[in-house]
Every structure is written in C-alpha cells, then in structure tokens.
A = this chain, B = another copy of it.
Amino acid sequence: MTTEAIPSTQLQTESKRHIARTLVDADVHNSVNDISELLPFLSDRWRTYIQQAGFKSPEFSRYIRLYERAARRDSFPPNGAFPGGDQEFAREQLLDPWGIDAAILCPLYPVSDLHNLDFGSALARAVNEWTATIWLDKDPRWRGSIVVNTGDPLAAAEEIRRAGRDPRFVQVLLIARAPAPYGRRQYRPMLAAASDMGLPLGIHFGGEHGGAITATGCPSYYIEDHTGMPQAFEAQVLSLVAEGVFETFPSLRVALIEGGFAWLPALMWRFDKNFKGLRDEVPWLQKLPSEYIREHFRATTQPMEEPPNPQHLLQILDMIGRDDFLMFATDYPHWDFDAPDRALPSILPADIRAGIMAANAEAFYDFDRT
C-alpha cells in the first residue's frame, strides 16, 4: 500500500494554509425550514409567484424514508426547526463536541427537479445567499457548496461564477441522479465554470427527477433506493471519464459524496478492459480510464462500507490505489450519521486514518482560498 496522503505536519508548512485541521467533515446538511427563509433572497417576481401558488418546497420523494426527514431523532432542534435547520443547534451538536475544524454544508434543496427553469435557478441562487448569510457568516468553520440548477446548465454556470467569488464556497454541488449523466455535452458550460473558478464538483447522493432511479426501473423500498445509490455514481464516473471531461478540463476534480467507494475497483477493471477493445469510440482519451479516476476523483466515507472482515477494507483501498482517496464525513443530521470516533475500523494505520480524517480533504478542497 502506498502512502500518498499528505502528512498533517506538512500542511502547516504550506504558506496558503493557515490552520492545522485535524478533523474535517465533508458532508453536513443544512436545511431550509420554510420557503419564507428564502424570500429575502428572491426578486419580487418570484415572491409573488411563490405566494400566489402557495409553493412550499421542491422537496418530495416517492420513497418513504422510515426516519422523518431522514434524520437522527436527536437532531430535531427544540425550537421546532428541521434537523440541520438551526445553525446554532448544529454547531452545538456537531462542531463543538466533536472538535470539527471545518465542515462542508451540502444543502439538498432539489431545485433541478423543477420544470420551470428560471424559478429553479432563482431558488438555487437564493439558497446560496441563504447559506452565506444564515450559516457561513455565523461560524468560520462552515464551508459552503454552490447549489445549481442543472436543468439549465448556462444558468448554472452563471451562478457558479457569481457564488464562487465568495471563497467560503468550496465546491459545486451536483446530485447523483440526474436526467442525464454530467459528462453529456449539455453540461459543459457548467463544468467549464467550475474548472475556471478552481472549484471541484461534489456529486452527492440523491435525486428523484421523475425517471427511473435504477438501470432497471424503480424498486419498491427505500432500502433499495439507498443501497442502490452507487449505481448513479458509477454512471457519473463512467460518463465524466468517457466523455473526455478531464482532457478538456485537466484541473477539474470530483468528490463522490455519500455514494460509497468499494464499488470502484470493479468499475475500474471493467472500464479498463473495455477500453482496450473500444477505445476507437472515445479517441480523446489519452490514458486508461482508471488513471483518470485515480487522478481526478475522491470519495467521502459516509456511509462507511463495513466489511465483517476489516482486512477487506484495506484490500479495497489497495485496489483503488490511493491512500488519500477517502475524506471523512458524518452526514449530519441524517439517520445514518457516522461518528468521528467510530466510523473508521481500528485496523487502519495511523497515517491513513489521519489522512482520511482531515489531510485528504485539505489537499482536495481549498478551505483557505481568498
């Protein structure tokens, strides 16, 4: 096993990084409690539209999640806000007790599922301004993800260039299940904007846009919805690599958030094998698909894959071929929260563990950009 993780001591010597972080949480969910919270960030046109229609929220699922708002029961703030809906409560329940030095907010407000494209884009911008005002302004440990309306990639590009000027936003948030995979040409302007702004894509668990959520239709249960989510990540990785995105945007990086990672070796092997027989179809690729994957992708840990034999986890990391591939995440406040002190099996060597808990995310995200 190679040791490509950057030791945390080295980080202190890098001039652009000011803080030695030992615990980074790469996936925390802040929630809009009510559409009224977004009204200050919307134009008169959309305020009228919302009020006239009685619009409450784009959130909707045909899968019943067993846990209300997919949340830990103890994460409902006493003031009646949603889990992740009260900045102070989240700070007190997550950041302070666990000693988290930086936490990336991923608001799962599904603006891209709305058919009215301008409304979706207006909501995306409103959510980003809300995140900046209600969360990032309140505690320097929070970092933001830029919500975009992928239904209108040109508008998404514009929002990335606007919101990305605020250095507290560290990635562009995309949802794993979309009507088309993100390597498809229609998304190029959006990817160009992310690349130009030096922002990675964060592809996050989720998406229920109306089409089938698996390669073979819609399953019946949330356990299938949730367990089957890596399928969308597999399709996204395939698409971004096969379409030559990383030849067009050589510095673009992608975080796979809440989709697991143990499925990656199988995908890399099949992809490389097929590439040998089918490379004529994708002549822009200059190297093996697995090389693009190793270079451009990282994954968050939660939900941590937990083989009964923990040795198997080390083997998977060895197959992936990068010790710095994983970035720790809690997924607070969701029901399948991974606690920082228990998420990683004890079999992991100390340097790999330190990398996962902070250094890998520090190397991937620019938490201190100005």
A→B interface (CB under 8 Å): 66, 176-181, 183-184, 207, 211-224, 226-232, 234-236, 238-239, 242-243, 260-263, 265-267, 269-275, 277-278, 280-282, 303, 305-307, 309, 312, 315-316, 318-319, 335-336
Contact = CB atoms under 8 A, between A and B. Distances in A.
A227 B270 contact: yes
Given A230-B234, A319-B307, A216 B266 contact: no
A215 B242 contact: no
Copies per complex? 2
B235 A274 contact: no
Contact of A223 (B176, B275, B318): B275
Given A178-B217, A273-B336, 6 more contacts: A177-B215, A184-B219, A215-B235, A216-B232, A222-B278, A273-B306
Most B CB contacts (10 A, CB to CB) among A216, A228, A235, A267 go to A216
A342 to B, nearest CB: 13
A270 B281 contact: no
A47 B150 CA distance: 49
A213 B211 contact: no
A336 B309 CA distance: 34
Contact of A305 (B228, B266, B275, B335): B266
A228 B260 CA distance: 17
A231 B235 contact: yes
21 contacts: A66-B277, A176-B216, A184-B217, A184-B219, A207-B216, A211-B217, A212-B215, A214-B232, A214-B234, A215-B232, A216-B232, A219-B235, A222-B281, A223-B238, A223-B281, A226-B278, A230-B270, A261-B266, A263-B266, A273-B306, A274-B336
A282 B312 contact: no
A107 to B, nearest CB: 20
A57 to B, nearest CB: 23
A282 B223 contact: yes
Contacts of A269: 262, 305-307
A220 B243 contact: yes
A221 B307 CA distance: 34
Contacts of A263: 263, 266-267
